[in-house]
Structure 1
Amino acid sequence: MAVTGEEVKVAKQLEANINWLNRELGVKESFDVIRRDIIFAGRRASLFYIDGFIKDDIMLYILRRLSELEREDLAPSPFKKTLQQYINYIEVDTLEDLHQVVDKVLAGGLALVVDGFEQVIIIDARRYPARNPEEPDLERVVRGSRDGFVETLLYNTNLLRRRIRDPRLRIEILQAGSRSKTDIAVVYIKDIAHPRLVEEVKRRIKAIKIDGLPMAEKSVEELITPGNWWNPFPRVRYTERPDVAAVHLLEGHVLVMVDTSPSVMIIPATFFHHLQHAEEYRQVPLVGAFLRWIRFLGVVVSVLLPPVWLLLALNRGLIPPGLEWLGPKKIAAIPLMWQFLLAEGGIDLLRMAAIHTPTALATALGLIATILIGEVAIAVGLFNPEIILYMAVAAIGIFATPSYELGMANTLVRVVALLAVGFWGLPGLVAILLGTFLLLATTKSFGVPYLWPLIPWDWRSLKSILLRSPVPLQNLRPPALKPLDEDRQPAPAYKPWPWQDRETLEERASREARLQDRVQDKD
């Protein structure tokens, strides 16, 4: 058996190949690693596969077909005729390195090793355990598609192909994890996504040096976005909806799909990407804009309401005229700041308990939280009623945040703001809010400023965030992504919104010149 560097070449002698594969795959040590010895056309051969990954009907058909062959059927080119004429299956490949054979078998492939052949035939007859596509729990819509990504990578790519039938849609497979060998798909549209963005994403994935990725997409995120341990704000957006993923592909984003995960990463992602929801685009523009502003208001209230109320309650002199009713009429047994922190801990504990509680007991959990804990705590004088009210409003705002990761980051900011107000008052609140803004302003997601289009200022793009633009006006892709093709559709000949700006001839000429420069840079 020839050994070249790290490669182990396939030998002509079947026994040498079998002994090496038996040792590497752990045949007879692992009950689900199967070796099936067969004879066809007078040649000895062995099949290696993982039990449960192989389609039984396909394997039975191939075995029946091979058993009918005679020695003269393979003459004069046994390997070529076996591969091209007698293995009647669609996905077939050949390998000369036994290390690659092991990887293919562990990934679910069927390896056919034949005596006298210096290549192993790999038959991709995989059947992964998979659930049917269902609507994601975190991204439900009133109207719209009900399918969602699942844990099987091939199913997820099919859901994207169904929505974007563009021959320039590229799905490149990479692997990470020296032991897990996890499949990671990088998805983009070739003539839209900027090549530097695509190459940077692939470079970071290829640079991953770790033994395994059992936590799938979250482990990949932390490995390709270094320094994220001290910054709570997410620099990639997750989605489980194929329609949302397809929209971002058409804008020039890059998707990262990790096998065994139903969540797809959208790269890059700004702060405002995490505040968008598919429901806004399933309604008429005016209703969509209304839903968006209600969501914006809920996010702001969830962060600022508890610390601002605590500041006014502790400093009565800051209360403006007409709002003297703010603040507790009677102080409870626990100081106000600690009441907020205890309520915050209780809400987070309740949220974690709801995740681990069976659906049949979810109602009982809610009754226990609201009646036995909240009401009794107020009745015995441990909490002020206003504390429970404002924390409940803040929790609703967090739940209304489309991105779960952004909601948790906002929760952390609120907790730190409560501590700052409790210890330092108004200067503490100002310092925390200013520090948070500076953190957001200096954060970048794969080169894109996190607060774009607010910083740097881009009024044309900011309008599309503040107001849900009608589809006829969505004729330009986000300039922050530097797409190779900036036009999505011709500019409309009318102005659906009275305040809508038309692109001037000078602006269009400048944009076309920038596009030409990018094409030259790519070449």
Structure 2
Amino acid sequence: MIADDGQKAKISKKLDENLKWLNEALGIDKNFDIISRQVHFAGKDAFLLFVDGFTKDNIMMYLLRSLTLVKREDIVVNTLEKIFKTYIDYIEVDQTDDLHQVVDRVLAGQTALFIEGEQKAILIDAREYPIRSPEEPDLERVVRGSRDGFVETLVYNTALIRRRIRDPKLRMELMEAGTRSKTDICIAYLEDVANPNLVQLIKEKIEAIRMDGLPMAEKSVEELIMPGSFWNPFPKIRYTERPDVAAAHLLEGHVLVLVDTSPSVMILPATFFHHVQHAEEYRQSPLVGAFLRWVRFFGIAASVFLAPVWLLVALEPRLLPEGLKFIGPDKPGQVGLMWQFFFAELGIDLLRMAAVHTPSALTTALGLIAAILIGEVAIDIGLFAPEVVLYMSIAAVGVFATPSYELGMANTLVRILLIFAVGLFRLPGLLVGFGLVFIFLALSKSFGVPYLWPLIPFNWTALKSILVRSPVPIQNTRPSALKPQDASRQPLPATKPLKRKSENSETNGSRRKDE
């Protein structure tokens, strides 16, 4: 009989008992894709257990052919060990005496081999998940640079990172979360660079997950390890689908969290300024990269402040100097300006969602409908002032120019907040609204790192590298906020002149002795 205490179930020497237990646990006779394949070799009865669709057929056929050539006299003594070490011609194999572990491994895609009279099973990792080819991510395109991107299979993603960082200190630790989904989660970091306290904190938070499943993969993990994120629209974790971006952050001392079934990799911790940088800036010369960065900064600032500030001067023309009186609206429209901005905001968000769900062949038609049938007609009938459409369009372009989709959505909510604050309280509303948002960001932290670092607390060296895209030769230190074990990214220059001087001094000393 199989002794099952709920934690461990010992494998029996009798195949029938093992098969009965597995049938109750996995429902082999009820699931068409869970297959139990009876085999016989060297006078021994055995069976293979695997999930159809996860196993590589050619490898399993090769192994079965190899087993049929085994003779009984070759495996009479220590049958399992001899088959495991000699006749299983495959690299990734393991043994276990626990049926619960067999169930977990089989559902993860491995194949289990049970042999009559043996109290252990051989686990063969000959799985092959359905996978798409690595392609350039839509949200992080670059003019020059690599075109590969992460996919939904964890082992491919770790390989893309190891291809770029061949450091023996790179650690890829596998964890599991979800009592039912049993989702694989990989923690990647450089052991001699990353802060060990940060690594341990992330591990503890993942181990504390008690959900039954993680169907939304990395997003579910984020909300479970970042408490209070429901009320905070600003992203405290940076996502990337580019292996080069992930590798760059590993070298800085960050920790990566890769979740199986997701092409997005989480970068921890992340500050506000991590979300305003793009890989394109590092694919161009430093001067061009700095120019692109400042254009991006302008677009992000315009997406937040342009509409509220224009609404303020439209409602309070006295705030404008005489030479800028033309900025106000000539025809305010039939609806209040504050509500015009609000309805225009809803219209833009509605169009964006419609574009996501619209087939690519119809996106051009959708744009024409939005621009002509909605925008022009709304202005002609007096529903919107032309300036409202203009400034909301510029704000929308600024949102699209924001490298981080999550930060763009957070800035949208801040813009709406400021529009209502200006509409209700004019200049005090704008100042108080912006002040509250700034204080909120200044008090926020991402895994112990201040969210507005290096602005608050102030660090000019780090802030300078954010304001201006610095050349690679002078990027010789890692961010101090991460508290890395190794703060230097480049070795100190060789001290050859000093060496020559010491040699000369030794020569002179020997000459003096001879004299």
Structure 2 length normalisation: TM-score?
0.95
Partner Cα distance (2:75, 2:360) in 1: 61
Q: Report Cα offsets for 1:424-449 as digits up to 9, x if no partner.
A: 11111111100100011000000000
Alignment-derived partner of residue 436 in structure 1: 437
Shift of 1:3: 3.0
Partner letter of residue 83 of structure 1? F
3-state DSSP class of the match of 1:256?
Answer: strand
How far 1:320 moved relative to its partner? 2.3
Cα offset for 1:492?
A: 7.3
Local SS of the residue matching 2:45: strand
Q: Mean alpha-carbon deviation: is it higher for 63-72 or for 229-238?
A: 63-72
Number of the residue aligned with 2:404: 403
- SS of aligned partner of 1:139: coil
Paired amino acid for 2:105: K
Q: How many Å apart are 1:331 and its aligned residue?
A: 2.1
Query: Structure 2: which 5+ runs fail to align?
Result: 495-515
Q: Secondary structure at the match of 2:188?
A: strand
Deviation for aligned residue 1:41: 1.1
- Partner SS state of residue 8, structure 1: coil
Equivalent AA in structure 2 for residue 283 of structure 1: Q
CA distance in 1, matches of 2:382, 2:261: 49
Which AA in structure 1 matches 2:409? M
> How far is the alpha carbon of 1:70 from its aligned partner?
2.4
1:514 is matched with which residue? none
- Give the corresponding residue for 1:282: 283
2:197 paired with 1:196: yes
Which residue matches 2:261? 260
Q: CA deviation at 1:116?
A: 0.9
- Cα distance in 1 for residues equivalent to 2:7 and 2:258: 29
1:473 aligns with 2:474: yes
Shift of 1:321: 2.7
Equivalent in the alignment of 2:511? none
Per the TM alignment, residue 378 of structure 1 is displaced from its structure 2 partner at its CA by: 0.6
Q: Structure 2 CA distance, aligned partners of 1:321 and 1:156?
A: 59
1:475/1:491 contact within 8 Å kept: no
Q: Which runs of 5+ in 1 are unaligned?
A: 494-523
Kindly provide the CA deviation profile for residues 5-48 of structure 1, in whole angstroms up to 9, marking residues without a partner as x: 51111111111111011111111211111111111111111111
Task: Quote how far apart the aligned CAs of 1:491 are.
Answer: 5.7
Alpha-carbon distance in structure 2 between the residues aligned to 1:14 and 1:202: 39
Please give the root-mean-square deviation of Cα atoms over the aligned residues, in Å: 1.0
Residue in structure 2 matched with residue 414 of structure 1 by the alignment: 415
Report what 1:321 is aligned to. Answer: 322
Q: SS of 1:131's equivalent?
A: coil
Confirm whether residue 99 of structure 1 aligns to residue 100 of structure 2: yes
* Partner of residue 307, structure 1: 308
Contact 1:473–1:491 (Cα < 8 Å) also in 2:
no
Distance 1:151 1:54 in 2: 18
Alpha-carbon distance between aligned partners in 2 of 1:228 and 1:4, rounded to the nearest angstrom: 39
User: Do 1:169 and 1:189's aligned partners in 2 also have CA atoms closer than 8 Å?
Assistant: yes
Write the letter of the residue equivalent to 2:25.
E
Partner of 2:391: 390
| Paired position in structure 2 for 1:357 | 358
Distance across 2 between alignment mates of 1:320 and 1:47: 83
Match of residue 75 from structure 1: 76
Amino acid of the residue matched to residue 163 of structure 1?
R
Letter in 1 for 2:205: R
Q: Which amino acid aligns with 2:9?
A: V
Q: How many residues align?
A: 493
Q: Distance in 2 between matches of 1:398 and 1:492?
A: 44
Deviations 1:327-385 (A, max 9, x none): 11122111111110110000000110111111100100100000110011111111110
Give 2:474's aligned amino acid.
L
Residue identity matched to 1:142? V
Distance between the aligned counterparts of 2:215 and 2:319, measured in 1? Answer: 52
Range with greater deviation from structure 2 (423-432 or 99-108): 423-432
Matched, 1:205 2:202: no
Partner of 1:502: none
Contact 1:313–1:328 at 8 Å: present in 2 too?
Answer: yes
Map of 1:226 onto structure 2: 227
Structure 1 residue 4: Cα displacement: 4.4
1:337 aligns with: 338
Larger Rg: 2
Query: d(CA) in 1 for partners of 2:3 and 2:216?
Result: 38
2-side partners of 1:40 and 1:490: how far apart? 60
Q: Do the aligned residues in 2 keep the contact of 1:139 with 1:402 (CA within 8 Å)?
A: yes
Q: Which moved more, 1:425-434 or 1:144-153?
A: 425-434
Matches of 2:253 and 2:357, distance apart in 1: 38
Counterpart in 1 of 2:135?
A: 134
What residue is the counterpart of 1:513 in the other structure?
A: none
Match of 2:123 in 1: 122
Q: Which residue of 2 aligns with 1:66?
A: 67
